Chains A and B, each alone.
Chain A
Amino acid sequence: MSEEPVLIAHHLRRELAGDPPPVLVADADLAIMPGKFTAIVGPSGCGKSSLLYLLGLIDRPTGGQLLLDGHDLLTLSGDERAQIRLEHFGFVFQFHFLLPEFSALENVMLPLRRLGRLSPRAMKDRAMALLGEVGLAEKAGKLPERLSGGERQRVAIARALANNPRLVLGDEPTGNLDSVNSARVVDMFRDLAHNQGRAVVCVTHDPAIAEKADIRVTMLDGRVTEVRDQTGATQSATSAT
């Protein structure tokens, strides 16, 4: 496979204010491949979530480079970053984060409406189709409080996919789910990568998920210590200075 990486992090660094500044992410180098399910693992506080938020343009790095299709993302304004999140990124968090006043269908339609590229009719059809894919077509009109934890997370996944993002980022997406729902979500993520060609990046401390990933990125103390391609041999072992 000679596919180009969709997202490249080069010496990505995130420090907090302080003296000496606490380092959340230290000079991370990473290439996110389309069609692959990448898992970022490591002990609590190793900076894996921080790295994910940097990759997802939610947080701003204090140093390094981040390239989407070869374009530098760090010089962009806040509004431009928001637009890229809207078009290219889909997020799934540990907590479902559905808007409580909106039905499942309306929640899925939020990114569609914000992007505004489809007719209202087409938006609704797409949202219904996505809910169908996660097996919740018949619960489209329900408010989040009337859904179970697993169902909510599946609505959140459908919402993350609304604008057909090229990258799907998960922050402990199974952290609040039982093993059955957890396995189901992981299968979905693998499907998104392998059959839909998206780049899927998932932060997790669940070894079962890490096992199923194509690429496993291990972090310790803010550093990427290992990038292992689990479909074949170890790709590289980075240990930046």
Chain B
Amino acid sequence: MIDRLSLLVHIAARHLLVRRRQTLVATSGVAVGVGFFLAVSALMVGSQNDFVRQLIDVAPHITISDELRSPPPQPGVQAMPDGAVELHGYKIRNEVRGLKDWQRILASVSAIPGAVGSPSLSGAVTLRMGGRDEPLGIVGIEPGIEAKVSNVADKLRYGRLEDLERVQGGLIIGEDMARRLGRSKGDIVAATSANGSTRSLRIVALVKKGNSQLGGSTGYMLLREAQSLLGRPFIINRIGIKLSDAYAAQDVAKGLEATYGYKAESWQERSADFLALLLTRNVIMYTVVSAILLVASFGIYTAVSNSVADKRRDIAILRSMGFSQGDLQLIFVMEGLALACIGILLGWCLGWGLMQVLGSLEFSVGGDPQHIPLDQSPRQYLVAAAASLAAGVVAAWLPARKASRVDPVDILRGAV
């Protein structure tokens, strides 16, 4: 078996070696296909991963808020769940806003290995200066814990999250808003809450531009100062949770929501629209790169097809000698396989080179130099190779089947 295979490989190799030009064209076709497949998918997957990472990092993996997805069931419905009762126009009981039992929620979050929960209180204030009002969403946080849950600490300019604890009435706002207010670090702004209390706050740090989700119209304060400014002492209305595995967020969120009844939103739910967009993007990408690989396999088809046409005499003589139809088919399939393999190796080199070039490019986002995010994982190489191999085998198999069906009689008799 091994002997037979090595003999067939030998014959296939000789065929390719005498047809160098065709061999070269076919392999470089595959190489270009594989190379650009790698470059394009590295770009697409890289930017997607980058984007998803931002989606994940921009806020906690799960946010538990004091909202309910549906109003609490009425006592009547609770007592008789199967009763054909429909209630209209009832008055919903007034409840104190905020997460009840939030310590218990925090405790059960801490029980999940690798998970951290950060309690916070958010509310609205108005920054007033020079007759102008700027609305601002205030988030009261515990800087030490919040830093573990969100990446706001990494996005600051001029200061650090811990400065909130050091400065009485410390406030962190976005760079753009600070510019609109004509204020900078160290300056004082006046904040008025909905219940009328006003306090002077000192800006201790700014959130960098380009992080609209974090710092667009949000300001950060110490939790207890926010509680007193908003007039809601000891109340928190949000728990941000960071997990060791971001992709478990959906399941964990579902569990927490089932246990406590409060809305627990995972990052997947929060970004469902973006994720759907990414899916479309992936479909487009794989359509395009598959087309590249498919076109590359046409080269293999042509090369093997020509080889079969050229070698009809050899096919006939090998058949008369006692080579089976399967032998002949295998010879030409292996020619295609060899072309594909050489092309894939060259394509890997080409793709690697393209990635190095793309990876070395630098451009600026919000004043910070950045590199194009690339996904250089071996998975891409394997996917490209597998797809080209499959296309190559099919492309070679069609003419190879023709080779095995050559009728030796006509050729041997009416030879050239």
The interface of chain A, by Cβ under 8 A from chain B, is 49, 53, 56, 58-59, 78-79, 82-87, 89, 91, 93-95, 97, 99-102, 110-111, 113-116, 159, 163, 171
Contacts and interface: CB of A to CB of B under 8 A. Distances in A.
A110 B321 contact: yes
Interface string B288-327: 0000000000000000000000000110111111111111
Secondary structure dominating the interface of B: helix
Contacts of B325: 78-79, 82
- Interface hub of B7, B320, B322 (most chain A Cβ within 10 A): B322
B7 A113 contact: yes
Given A101-B14, A113-B3, A114-B4, A82 B412 contact: no
B17 interface: yes
B118 to A, nearest CB: 73
Given A53-B409, A110-B7, A101 B322 contact: no
Contacts of A86: 321-323
B415 A94 contact: yes
Contacts of B316: 97
11 contacts: A82-B322, A91-B321, A94-B415, A95-B415, A97-B314, A100-B18, A102-B14, A110-B7, A114-B327, A115-B322, A171-B412
A116 B3 contact: yes
B56 to A, nearest CB: 59
Nearest to B316: A97
Nearest to A59: B409
A236 to B, nearest CB: 28
Interface in B336-378: none
B413 interface: yes
Contacts of A171: 412-413
B321 A114 contact: yes
Interface string B96-113: 000000000000000000
Contacts of A87: 322
Contacts of B61: none
Given A82-B319, A86-B321, A97 B313 contact: yes
B329 to A, nearest CB: 12
B408 interface: yes
Contacts of B18: 100-101
B412 A79 contact: no
A85 B322 contact: yes
B322 A99 contact: no
Contact of A58 (B3, B314, B320, B323): B320
B324 A82 contact: yes
Interface of B: 3-4, 7, 11, 14-15, 17-18, 313-314, 316-327, 408-409, 412-413, 415-416
Given A93-B412, A94-B415, A113-B3, A99 B314 contact: yes
B415 A97 contact: yes
Given A99-B317, A171-B413, 14 more contacts: A53-B412, A58-B412, A78-B324, A79-B324, A85-B320, A97-B317, A97-B415, A99-B11, A99-B314, A100-B314, A102-B14, A114-B4, A114-B321, A116-B3
Contact of A49 (B11, B408, B413): B413
Contact of B415 (A53, A89, A93): A93
Nearest to A79: B324
Contacts of B314: 97, 99-100
- Interface hub of B14, B15, B313, B413 (most chain A Cβ within 10 A): B413
A101 B319 contact: no
A89 B320 CA distance: 9
A82 B323 CA distance: 6
Nearest to A172: B413
Contacts of B319: 58, 82
Nearest to B4: A116
Contacts of B320: 56, 58, 85, 91, 93
Contacts of B413: 49, 53, 171
Contacts of A100: 18, 314
Given A97-B313, A97-B317, A58 B409 contact: yes
Contact of B321 (A53, A79, A85, A95): A85
Contacts of B322: 82-87, 89, 111, 114-115, 163
Contacts of B412: 53, 58, 93, 97, 171
A7 to B, nearest CB: 16
